[in-house]
Amino acid sequence: SYELSQALSVSVALGQTARIDCAGNNIGSKSVQWHQQKPGQAPVVVIYRDKNRPSGISERFSGSNSGNTATLTISRAQAGDEADYYCQVWDSNFWVFGGGTKLTVL
């Protein structure tokens, strides 16, 4: 079965740029989604199909996907960006999630 790997945690200084990676075998050939989850809340998608932002999501969120790594980039990080971030792809009809990365804004 297909697997996705993420770092357990990433820290970023307030106002700086955070990058969260998601590794998978030839993930560049798949469509990647990024889901943000704040404590006590349901996940919310912040990027879909590699680089598309849903309506209402800040333009500070961007995504890229190539080779064996997909990346979520959060520019000008704010305290409100602190959350768990999960990458996700489709493998046949199955949803596959990465283990999640906890973003801390210092």
Partner 1 sequence: QIQLVQSGAEVKKPGASVKVSCKASGYTFTFYDINWVRQATGQGLEWMGWMNPHSGNTGYTQKFQGRVTMTSDNSISTAYLELSSLRSEDTAMYYCATLYMAQPFWGQGTLVTVSS
The footprint of partner 1 (CB under 8 A) covers 31, 33, 35, 37, 42-45, 48-49, 52, 54, 86, 88, 93-100
Q: How many CB atoms lie within 10 A of CB 34?
A: 29
- How far apart (Å, rounded) are the C-alpha atoms in residues 21 and 51? 14
| Angle (CA) 78 81 84, round 5° | 150
Cβ proximity to partner 1, 17 vs 35, nearer residue: 35
CB of 82 to partner 1, least distance (A): 16
CB of 32 to partner 1, least distance (A): 12
Cβ proximity to partner 1, 14 vs 20, nearer residue: 20
Rg (CA), the chain: 13
Q: How many CB atoms lie within 10 A of CB 22?
A: 28
| Angle (CA) 13 19 86, round 5° | 115
CB of 100 to partner 1, least distance (A): 5
Cβ proximity to partner 1, 24 vs 98, nearer residue: 98
Cβ proximity to partner 1, 13 vs 51, nearer residue: 51
